[in-house]
Amino acid sequence: MEFSDPNRREERLARHTGRVHAELLASGLPVYTLAPESRPAEERFGGLEVFDGTVTAIHLVYPASTPEGPWADVETARWTGLQIGPASLRLALEHHVRRGGDRFSELTWTESSASLSVDGHSIGAQWLRAGHRWWALRGERAGIEITVVGRDWHPETLAVETVVDPLPILHRLPDDRSAYQAVHPAPGAGPLPADLRREPHRALADAVLHNTAAHAAWQADGGPAPQLPTWWSELWRAAVQRQMQLSGQPEVEAAAAVRGMSSQLAGLFHELEWFHSDADLRRRAITEILFYSTGLDADVPSRTAQDEWHRFTAADVDPDSRAIANERWITAWQSWASSRREV
């Protein structure tokens, strides 16, 4: 088959490499790599970060050969003239610690001053350690911010140098080895329990909220990444099928309705404090969303909020109107919650 043809794969890889190389050259950003004598592995291209059409950061990674092996990431970034700025060094390190499966609260975080050699010139830098495994260092030279993150790798001196031509790095095939390999195994597939099949919309709502809460906790403190249950895909299909039966919608529209229901529930969890602190209000809100989404009762007390959600998520809404609709959606749900407390 065409998609498994190795020649086609090589062609696609070559085109992708050419596009990335052109973007790197057009960005005007230097690419820094660890000095050969200190790097834990051979560098590989780790990706670009782009904001509003502008390349803001370039990553080179040094993959570990085992889950416990030394690993590093070098980020070269420029934020001048942009509406965004760099994440704090703490947030940058937290991102990698989180992906590595460690908990922030179980690590001792310490800061200190340090130095970084850039093309043979020493610059001042900030050093942050998280426990005995993780650390990050950041310095700036000529408006270019250089951030190095390491795990299970502790060089005596730290030096980076400019990559004259990044093309050889781009030509290296992706390496399956990763600092995070075996930490987050892919979920398998399993049968849907019979008790969940009876009311798949309700079961899906519960699963969405459980996963949303687990991800919020993971974002806050790291640890093993939450995994969807093995029967998630089957539950989703069951909910879409039930949506088609209840609403008479074709499959595409039914799937969109189920996605909208799930997204609104997650949005309520993130945006409104009462949704995860007041069990009674949460139960009422979920019930009304289910009735409205399935068409069993479109005239629920929260209909104004439900209508605003549809305006907020409409594909053809411009960003300004979307922001207004989001505020109206939040306000409508707040008003609904206040009215329910008075009942």
Structure tokens at 169: 């790095």
134-152 b/e (C-beta count within 10 Å ≥ 16 → b): bbbbbbbbeebbbbbbbbb
Q: Is 78 helix (H, G, I), strand (E, B) or coil?
A: coil
User: Counting every residue, how long is the chain?
Assistant: 343
Contact, 47 vs 59, CB < 8 A? yes
pLDDT tens, residue by residue, 76-86: 999 876 667 77
Query: Average pLDDT, stretch 264-277?
Result: 96
pLDDT over 90 for what percent of the chain?
67
Q: Does residue 3 register a pLDDT over 60?
A: no
DSSP code per residue over 132-149: TTEEEEEEEETTEEEEEE
pLDDT over 70 for what percent of the chain?
90
Mean pLDDT of all residues belonging to the chain? 89
Between CA 341 and CA 180 the distance in angstroms is 46
| pLDDT value, residue 188 | 56
pLDDT tens, residue by residue, 118-177: 999 999 999 999 999 999 999 999 999 999 999 999 998 899 999 999 998 988 865 544
Backbone Cα Rg of the chain: 25
pLDDT tens, residue by residue, 226-247: 999 999 999 999 999 999 999 9
pTM (2 decimals)?
0.82
Beta strands in 152-229 (DSSP E): 159-162
pLDDT tens, residue by residue, 21-33: 888 888 889 999 9
Whose tokens are 């950041």? That residue is 138
